[in-house]
């Protein structure tokens, strides 16, 4: 099926469509003709413009009790993500705003400028107990608009002052901008950074993650973090059968050459609206392979497009899942990855002052 079959398709963006979710019985949103602007620096022709809306959040710490992830709290300075990764499991969250998980998710973004203040207030509350705060677990904290809004940096400054531990997961080498904060925090055992690298192939990268940093820049970021003493981790995520799975060993080898200390992977997940978006993407970019890809994904997911159950949702099940796990573990062992745990300290935490009042002790 050709691109002409998808009237919403925009070169340089990830999702081929901009269909509004029906999960909440919301009406279709009429297309806005004012979205086009000049993106000549990107692809030489007018393209979909990114629109940013300021969100006045009341809280910034998100808690979870999921038993299959290693953190219980996170901060997301932004809603939506301009990287445009077609497989992003956060896309369905835009449906809550009466916006499409497709192109809207990557072009109509929300920023939370009050995040540093809200974070400081949360850490100063009586009874707060420190544990690593995860950044980049929903949308990327270092997506392109961070260069202008610097909300992530503001949050890092709060955590650095309080000696509070954190982890960062990103697809951007923009994280290196904050090495002046991360390096001294790492020396205290307060921070670790995971860089996600999905493919080393430029063509695959451009279609999968059109506005994310190039793979070589991400690997260079791992090397720079490691050289600065910041524990660096390579996340081979997601693994997409018949699209990127053949690169598993090459990706881990590239991470090891960049001095990543550890590695992990996630099998592709297709919750809610991500499944039809991904299928449309396959029809645009890999039409001859689309049925094969979906058949393997469904074998990983118990016959469906997605399996939301704890523990199986990240890795999948069945023969394909077992094969990927064996290849990953064998390669990590050969390369010396995951030999040392990255344990962050919480005992150095000093609560921020509340309302400008000095602490007694």
Q: Output the DSSP codes for 93-153.
A: GGGGGT--TTHHHHHEEEE-TTHHHHHHHHHHSTT----PEEESSSS-TTSTTHHHH-HHH
In a domain, 82, yes or no: yes
Residue 182: per-residue pLDDT:
98
Least confident of 27-36, 105-114, 118-127, 188-197: 27-36
Residue 311: per-residue pLDDT:
87
Residue 7, pLDDT > 90, answer no
| Alpha-carbon dihedral angle through residues 287, 269, 112, 348, given to the nearest 10 degrees | -140
More confident residue, 13 or 191: 191
In a domain, 343, yes or no: no
Dihedral sign (CA 6, 10, 11, 14)? negative
Contact criterion met (CB below 8 Å) for 310 and 67: yes
How do residues 294-346 score in pLDDT, each as one tens digit?
999 999 999 999 999 998 999 999 999 999 999 999 999 999 999 988 899 99
Note down the domain range covering 217. Answer: 3-19+37-266
Other beta carbons within 10 Å of 42: 12
Radius of gyration of the CA atoms of the chain, in A? 21
Residue 332: per-residue pLDDT:
98
How do residues 57-83 score in pLDDT, each as one tens digit?
999 999 999 998 999 999 999 999 999
Residue 14: per-residue pLDDT:
63
Distance CA 93, CA 55 (A): 15
Residue 28, pLDDT > 50, answer no
* Report field, pTM of the whole predicted structure over 0.85: yes
Contact criterion met (CB below 8 Å) for 342 and 233: yes
Contact criterion met (CB below 8 Å) for 12 and 39: yes
Mean pLDDT (whole number) for 213-232: 98
How do residues 39-55 score in pLDDT, each as one tens digit?
344 444 446 789 999 99
More confident residue, 140 or 41: 140
In a domain, 105, yes or no: yes
In a domain, 114, yes or no: yes
Q: Which residues contact 323 (CB under 8 A, 6 or more apart)?
A: none
Quick one: angle between helices 151-162 and 115-124, nearest 10? 20
Residue 97: per-residue pLDDT:
87
Q: Which residues contact 187 (CB under 8 A, 6 or more apart)?
A: 229
Contact criterion met (CB below 8 Å) for 205 and 285: no
Residue 96: per-residue pLDDT:
86
Mean pLDDT (whole number) for 212-238: 98
In a domain, 342, yes or no: no
Mean pLDDT (whole number) for 259-265: 97
Contact criterion met (CB below 8 Å) for 111 and 78: yes
In a domain, 220, yes or no: yes
Mean pLDDT (whole number) for 114-121: 98
In a domain, 315, yes or no: no
User: What's the total number of domains in the chain?
Assistant: 1
Mean pLDDT (whole number) for 271-294: 96
Residue 174: per-residue pLDDT:
98
In a domain, 107, yes or no: yes
Task: Please report which helix (H) or strand (E) contains residue 158, including its range.
Answer: helix 151-162
CATH number for the domain spanning 55: value is 3.20.20
* Token pair of 15 as six digits: 């999702």
Mean pLDDT (whole number) for 10-27: 61
């Amino acid at each position: 099926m050709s691109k002409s079959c998808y009237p919403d398709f925009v070169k340089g963006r990830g999702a081929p469509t901009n269909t509004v979710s029906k999960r909440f019985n919301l009406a279709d949103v009429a297309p806005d003709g004012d979205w086009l602007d000049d993106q000549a620096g990107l692809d030489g022709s007018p393209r979909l413009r990114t629109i940013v809306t300021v969100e006045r959040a009341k809280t910034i710490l998100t808690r979870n009790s999921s038993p299959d992830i290693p953190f219980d709290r996170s901060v997301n300075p932004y809603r939506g993500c301009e990287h445009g990764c077609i497989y992003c499991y956060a896309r369905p969250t835009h449906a809550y705003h009466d916006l499409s998980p497709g192109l809207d998710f990557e072009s109509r973004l929300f920023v939370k400028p009050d995040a540093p203040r809200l974070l400081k207030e949360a850490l100063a509350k009586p009874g707060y107990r420190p544990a690593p705060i995860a950044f980049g677990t929903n949308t990327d904290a270092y997506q392109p608009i961070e260069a202008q809004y610097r909300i992530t940096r503001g949050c890092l400054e709060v955590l650095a002052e309080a000696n509070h531990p954190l982890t960062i997961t990103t697809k951007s080498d923009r994280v290196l901008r904050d090495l002046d904060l991360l390096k001294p925090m790492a020396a205290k055992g307060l921070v670790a950074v995971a860089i996600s690298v999905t493919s080393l192939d430029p063509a695959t990268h451009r279609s999968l993650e059109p506005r994310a940093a190039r793979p070589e820049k991400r690997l260079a970021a791992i090397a720079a973090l490691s050289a600065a003493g910041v524990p660096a981790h390579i996340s081979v995520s997601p693994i997409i059968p018949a699209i990127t799975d053949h690169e598993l060993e090459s990706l881990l080898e590239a991470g090891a050459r960049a001095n990543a200390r550890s590695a992990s992977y996630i099998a592709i997940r297709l919750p809610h609206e991500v499944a039809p978006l991904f299928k449309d993407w396959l029809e645009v970019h890999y039409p001859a392979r689309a049925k094969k890809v979906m058949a393997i994904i469904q074998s990983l997911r118990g016959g469906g497009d997605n399996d939301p159950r704890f523990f199986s949702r990240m890795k999948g099940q069945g023969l394909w899942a077992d094969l990927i796990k064996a290849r990953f573990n064998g390669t990590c062992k050969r390369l010396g990855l995951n030999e040392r745990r990255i344990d962050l300290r919480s005992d150095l935490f000093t609560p921020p002052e509340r309302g400008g009042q000095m602490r007694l002790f």
